[in-house]
Structure 1
Amino acid sequence: MSDRIILVSHLGLASGMKKALEFIVGEQPQLYAVELDEEGIEQFKKKLSLLRHENKAMNTIIVSDIPSGSPGATAYSYFAETSDVHLLSGMNLPLVLDLVLSSTVKPIEQLIPDAIDAAKDTIQDYTLFSNGEMEDDF
């Protein structure tokens, strides 16, 4: 695998996402999770520094929880100094699954737009509108 995927978030989301993904598809050595917690941004940077030389990847894909958030912005600026970096925002399980499962068969130029499209397609509204009566068919 030439692409390294780093999930970054505020407390809990990145590690939970990694755990959920690996529950579904098994251990993924190219997938990392780093979280900003109550220890602050300097500790977050120290955690990132441990990954700087880990898994010499051709590309680093950073997936963050929210646009312009501290975890994503900090990780992007940190890794932009040493490798080809791509920053995606709006972390969700379909996005991360698609990135992980397709990264060995698609070039980065196709991988990222395809993963984003696949993730967008999974957002659906399944709300049922009724007059308050229960349906036997449901």
Structure 2
Amino acid sequence: MLNRAILLVSHGNLASTMKECVQLITGKQKDLYALSMDAEETFESFSSRLETSVNQLRVRYQEIIILADIKGGSPCNAATLQVFKERSIQVIAGFHLGLVIECCLSPASPRELIANASQSISHINSVIN
């Protein structure tokens, strides 16, 4: 199995809370990390902390997937800067619980992870009608 780190980045405590939720369902995930940007933090400060985290992870992992809470948000934009520095870093925007679990449990590529997790999104009323 690929030596892969998954780093959640978000506004507020969403990343750390998502990590807790995933581990409630799947058990301890030693390769899952969280980095949150609080309301008082600048983009530059968060970008610097993210770069430090990525550099630490690169020592131990062959691949890093950064999951950002929302496309175009500061955490996602900071993650995108990391791709320009290291093309092996993968960034997926718009994480949800199903996607994070899929990333933790599957060695699939980022495109496959998104496709698999997208299948879990459903309008339940349409299904039961």
- Alignment TM-score, normalising by the size of structure 2: 0.81
For 1:118, the equivalent position in structure 2 comes to 116
SS across alignment from 1:127: helix
For 1:26, the equivalent position in structure 2 comes to 27
- Say yes or no: does 1:15 pair with 2:8: no
Deviation at 1:58, TM superposition (A): 1.2
* AA in 2 matched with 1:124: S
Q: What runs of 5+ residues in structure 2 fail to find an aligned partner? A: none
Q: Which structure has the bigger radius of gyration?
A: 1
Bigger fraction of residues in helix: 2
Count of residues in correspondence between the two structures: 122
Q: What runs of 5+ residues in structure 1 fail to find an aligned partner? A: 104-109, 129-138
- Alignment TM-score, normalising by the size of structure 1: 0.77
Deviation at 1:37, TM superposition (A): 0.8
SS across alignment from 2:56: coil
Root mean square deviation, CA, Å = 2.0
* AA in 1 matched with 2:3: S
- Say yes or no: does 1:58 pair with 2:51: no
State, as a whole percentage, how many aligned pairs show the same letter.
31
Aligned CA distance change for structure 1 residues 50 and 59 (closer, same or farther; 3 Å): closer
The 4+ residue runs of structure 1 with deviation greater than 4 A are none
- Cα-to-partner distance string for 1:32-62 (whole Å, 9 max, x where unaligned): 1111112313442343214422352111111
SS across alignment from 1:117: helix
For 1:133, the equivalent position in structure 2 comes to none
Deviation at 1:69, TM superposition (A): 1.4
